[in-house]
Protein backbone atom coordinates (compact mmCIF):
# COMPACT_ATOMS: atom_id res chain seq x y z
CA UNK A 1 0.00 0.00 0.00
CA UNK A 2 1.48 3.36 -0.98
CA UNK A 3 1.59 6.36 1.29
CA UNK A 4 -1.33 8.14 -0.42
CA UNK A 5 -3.61 5.16 0.17
CA UNK A 6 -2.68 5.02 3.87
CA UNK A 7 -3.41 8.74 4.28
CA UNK A 8 -6.83 8.32 2.70
CA UNK A 9 -7.65 5.47 5.09
CA UNK A 10 -6.59 7.57 8.10
CA UNK A 11 -8.67 10.51 6.88
CA UNK A 12 -11.66 8.23 6.39
CA UNK A 13 -11.30 6.80 9.91
CA UNK A 14 -11.03 10.30 11.40
CA UNK A 15 -14.17 11.36 9.53
CA UNK A 16 -16.04 8.28 10.79
CA UNK A 17 -14.97 8.90 14.40
CA UNK A 18 -15.89 12.59 14.23
CA UNK A 19 -19.26 11.71 12.69
CA UNK A 20 -20.01 9.23 15.46
CA UNK A 21 -19.03 11.78 18.12
CA UNK A 22 -21.12 14.47 16.44
CA UNK A 23 -24.19 12.23 16.30
CA UNK A 24 -23.73 11.23 19.95
CA UNK A 25 -23.40 14.86 21.08
CA UNK A 26 -26.44 15.85 19.01
CA UNK A 27 -28.56 13.02 20.45
CA UNK A 28 -27.50 13.92 23.99
CA UNK A 29 -28.37 17.56 23.40
CA UNK A 30 -31.80 16.64 22.03
CA UNK A 31 -32.41 14.26 24.95
CA UNK A 32 -31.45 16.86 27.56
CA UNK A 33 -33.62 19.47 25.89
CA UNK A 34 -36.54 17.05 25.87
CA UNK A 35 -36.03 16.24 29.57
CA UNK A 36 -35.84 19.93 30.42
CA UNK A 37 -39.08 20.59 28.53
CA UNK A 38 -40.78 17.67 30.30
CA UNK A 39 -39.69 19.05 33.68
CA UNK A 40 -40.97 22.54 32.86
CA UNK A 41 -44.31 21.25 31.58
CA UNK A 42 -44.71 18.89 34.55
CA UNK A 43 -44.13 21.82 36.92
CA UNK A 44 -46.61 23.96 34.99
CA UNK A 45 -49.18 21.15 35.13
CA UNK A 46 -48.71 20.85 38.91
CA UNK A 47 -49.37 24.54 39.51
CA UNK A 48 -52.34 24.42 37.17
CA UNK A 49 -53.73 21.59 39.31
CA UNK A 50 -53.12 23.78 42.38
CA UNK A 51 -55.08 26.56 40.68
CA UNK A 52 -57.93 24.10 40.17
CA UNK A 53 -57.92 23.27 43.89
CA UNK A 54 -58.05 26.97 44.79
CA UNK A 55 -60.91 27.49 42.34
CA UNK A 56 -62.79 24.57 43.90
CA UNK A 57 -62.27 25.92 47.43
CA UNK A 58 -63.58 29.30 46.31
CA UNK A 59 -66.64 27.64 44.78
CA UNK A 60 -67.24 25.63 47.96
CA UNK A 61 -67.09 28.78 50.08
CA UNK A 62 -69.77 30.34 47.88
CA UNK A 63 -72.01 27.27 47.65
CA UNK A 64 -70.96 24.22 49.61
CA UNK A 65 -73.83 22.06 48.38
CA UNK A 66 -73.74 22.55 44.59
CA UNK A 67 -70.24 23.91 43.90
CA UNK A 68 -68.65 23.07 40.56
CA UNK A 69 -65.60 24.13 38.55
CA UNK A 70 -65.48 24.51 34.78
CA UNK A 71 -62.40 23.63 32.72
CA UNK A 72 -60.29 26.77 32.49
CA UNK A 73 -57.36 27.69 30.26
CA UNK A 74 -54.54 29.41 32.10
CA UNK A 75 -51.07 30.22 30.86
CA UNK A 76 -49.54 27.34 28.93
CA UNK A 77 -52.28 24.85 29.79
CA UNK A 78 -55.59 24.29 31.50
CA UNK A 79 -57.08 22.92 34.70
CA UNK A 80 -60.28 21.15 35.62
CA UNK A 81 -61.62 20.04 38.98
CA UNK A 82 -64.23 17.51 40.00
CA UNK A 83 -66.04 17.90 43.34
CA UNK A 84 -67.71 14.83 44.82
CA UNK A 85 -69.80 14.65 47.99
CA UNK A 86 -69.94 12.11 50.79
CA UNK A 87 -72.28 13.36 53.50
CA UNK A 88 -70.91 16.71 54.67
CA UNK A 89 -67.45 15.93 53.30
CA UNK A 90 -66.17 16.91 49.87
CA UNK A 91 -63.41 15.44 47.71
CA UNK A 92 -61.73 17.63 45.10
CA UNK A 93 -59.71 16.03 42.30
CA UNK A 94 -57.97 18.71 40.27
CA UNK A 95 -56.07 18.04 37.03
CA UNK A 96 -53.58 20.34 35.34
CA UNK A 97 -52.61 19.68 31.73
CA UNK A 98 -50.04 21.17 29.35
CA UNK A 99 -50.65 22.21 26.64
CA UNK A 100 -54.33 23.14 26.48
CA UNK A 101 -56.77 22.36 23.72
CA UNK A 102 -55.26 19.08 22.59
CA UNK A 103 -53.40 15.98 23.68
CA UNK A 104 -51.61 16.77 26.92
CA UNK A 105 -47.88 16.13 27.02
CA UNK A 106 -47.88 16.52 30.79
CA UNK A 107 -50.65 15.97 33.33
CA UNK A 108 -50.69 16.26 37.14
CA UNK A 109 -53.48 15.41 39.59
CA UNK A 110 -54.06 16.70 43.12
CA UNK A 111 -56.70 15.28 45.46
CA UNK A 112 -57.94 17.19 48.49
CA UNK A 113 -60.30 15.97 51.21
CA UNK A 114 -62.48 18.68 52.77
CA UNK A 115 -64.73 18.55 55.81
CA UNK A 116 -66.85 21.38 57.16
CA UNK A 117 -67.37 19.62 60.47
CA UNK A 118 -66.07 21.69 63.36
CA UNK A 119 -63.53 19.72 65.44
CA UNK A 120 -64.87 18.35 68.72
CA UNK A 121 -62.45 20.41 70.81
CA UNK A 122 -62.82 23.61 68.78
CA UNK A 123 -64.85 25.54 71.35
CA UNK A 124 -62.57 24.46 74.18
CA UNK A 125 -59.95 26.94 72.95
CA UNK A 126 -59.72 30.69 73.11
CA UNK A 127 -57.56 30.59 69.96
CA UNK A 128 -57.67 27.80 67.37
CA UNK A 129 -55.51 28.39 64.31
CA UNK A 130 -54.10 26.12 61.61
CA UNK A 131 -51.75 28.92 60.57
CA UNK A 132 -49.37 31.30 62.25
CA UNK A 133 -50.41 33.23 65.37
CA UNK A 134 -48.57 36.43 66.28
CA UNK A 135 -49.54 38.09 69.57
CA UNK A 136 -47.51 41.28 69.71
CA UNK A 137 -46.73 43.26 72.83
CA UNK A 138 -47.77 42.53 76.41
CA UNK A 139 -50.98 44.53 76.80
CA UNK A 140 -53.29 41.56 76.35
CA UNK A 141 -54.56 38.52 78.20
CA UNK A 142 -55.85 35.35 76.56
CA UNK A 143 -58.32 33.72 78.93
CA UNK A 144 -58.29 30.11 77.82
CA UNK A 145 -56.37 27.54 75.84
CA UNK A 146 -54.47 28.14 72.61
CA UNK A 147 -53.94 25.52 69.92
CA UNK A 148 -52.04 26.29 66.72
CA UNK A 149 -50.69 24.41 63.73
CA UNK A 150 -47.87 26.53 62.34
CA UNK A 151 -46.05 29.05 64.53
CA UNK A 152 -46.85 31.05 67.64
CA UNK A 153 -45.22 34.27 68.84
CA UNK A 154 -46.48 35.15 72.31
CA UNK A 155 -45.70 35.82 75.95
CA UNK A 156 -46.40 32.81 78.18
CA UNK A 157 -47.45 35.05 81.08
CA UNK A 158 -50.32 36.50 79.03
CA UNK A 159 -52.10 33.20 78.36
CA UNK A 160 -54.03 31.70 81.26
CA UNK A 161 -54.64 28.28 79.68
CA UNK A 162 -52.52 25.68 77.95
CA UNK A 163 -50.60 26.25 74.72
CA UNK A 164 -50.53 23.31 72.30
CA UNK A 165 -48.89 22.90 68.90
CA UNK A 166 -50.71 20.47 66.61
CA UNK A 167 -49.51 20.39 63.01
CA UNK A 168 -52.37 18.05 62.04
CA UNK A 169 -55.11 20.69 62.34
CA UNK A 170 -56.30 22.23 59.09
CA UNK A 171 -58.25 25.36 58.16
CA UNK A 172 -62.02 25.02 58.27
CA UNK A 173 -63.55 24.83 54.79
CA UNK A 174 -66.72 26.46 56.03
CA UNK A 175 -67.33 28.06 59.39
CA UNK A 176 -70.77 28.22 60.97
CA UNK A 177 -70.74 31.72 62.46
CA UNK A 178 -74.32 31.40 63.69
CA UNK A 179 -73.32 28.40 65.79
CA UNK A 180 -70.46 30.41 67.27
CA UNK A 181 -72.74 33.38 67.94
CA UNK A 182 -75.34 31.19 69.65
CA UNK A 183 -72.65 29.72 71.89
CA UNK A 184 -71.25 33.17 72.66
CA UNK A 185 -74.72 34.45 73.51
CA UNK A 186 -75.28 31.53 75.87
CA UNK A 187 -72.03 32.45 77.61
CA UNK A 188 -72.92 36.17 77.54
CA UNK A 189 -69.78 36.87 75.53
CA UNK A 190 -71.34 38.76 72.61
CA UNK A 191 -70.13 42.33 72.24
CA UNK A 192 -71.23 45.09 69.90
CA UNK A 193 -69.58 48.46 69.21
CA UNK A 194 -71.34 51.34 70.96
CA UNK A 195 -69.87 54.85 70.73
CA UNK A 196 -66.31 53.59 70.24
CA UNK A 197 -66.54 51.03 73.03
CA UNK A 198 -67.50 47.37 73.29
CA UNK A 199 -70.66 46.56 75.21
CA UNK A 200 -72.12 43.16 76.04
CA UNK A 201 -75.44 43.22 74.17
CA UNK A 202 -77.06 40.95 76.77
CA UNK A 203 -75.90 42.47 80.04
CA UNK A 204 -75.00 45.98 78.88
CA UNK A 205 -71.65 45.61 80.64
CA UNK A 206 -68.54 47.27 79.27
CA UNK A 207 -66.29 44.76 81.03
CA UNK A 208 -64.91 41.89 78.99
CA UNK A 209 -65.77 38.43 80.30
CA UNK A 210 -63.04 36.78 82.32
CA UNK A 211 -63.63 33.31 80.90
DSSP string, the chain: --HHHHHHHHHHHHHHHHHHHHHHHHHHHHHHHHHHHHHHHHHHHHHHHHHHHHHHHHHHHH-TTT-----EEETTEEEEEEEEEETTEEEEEEEEEESSSS--SEEEEEEEEEE-PPPTTGGGEEEEESS-EE--SSS--B-SEEEESS-EE--GGGB-S-EEE-TT----SS--HHHHHHHHHHTT--EEE-SSSEEETTT---SPP--
- Fold topology of 3-115: 3.30.1300
Q: Where are the domains of the chain?
A: 3-115, 122-200
pLDDT of residue 137: 75
pLDDT of residue 130: 80
pLDDT band at 211 (very low <50, low <70, confident <90, very high): very low
pLDDT of residue 191: 67
The pLDDT tens digits of the residues spanning 41-67 come to 889 999 999 999 999 988 888 888 888
pLDDT of residue 75: 84
Residue 6 has pLDDT above 60, yes or no: yes
pLDDT of residue 2: 61
Amino acid sequence: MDRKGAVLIYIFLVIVVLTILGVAIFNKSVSERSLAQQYVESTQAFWLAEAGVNQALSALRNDYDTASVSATELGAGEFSAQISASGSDRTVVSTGEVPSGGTARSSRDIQVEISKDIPANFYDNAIYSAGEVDLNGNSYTVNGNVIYGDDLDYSQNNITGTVTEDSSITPLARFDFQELRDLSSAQQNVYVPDHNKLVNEITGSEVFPSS
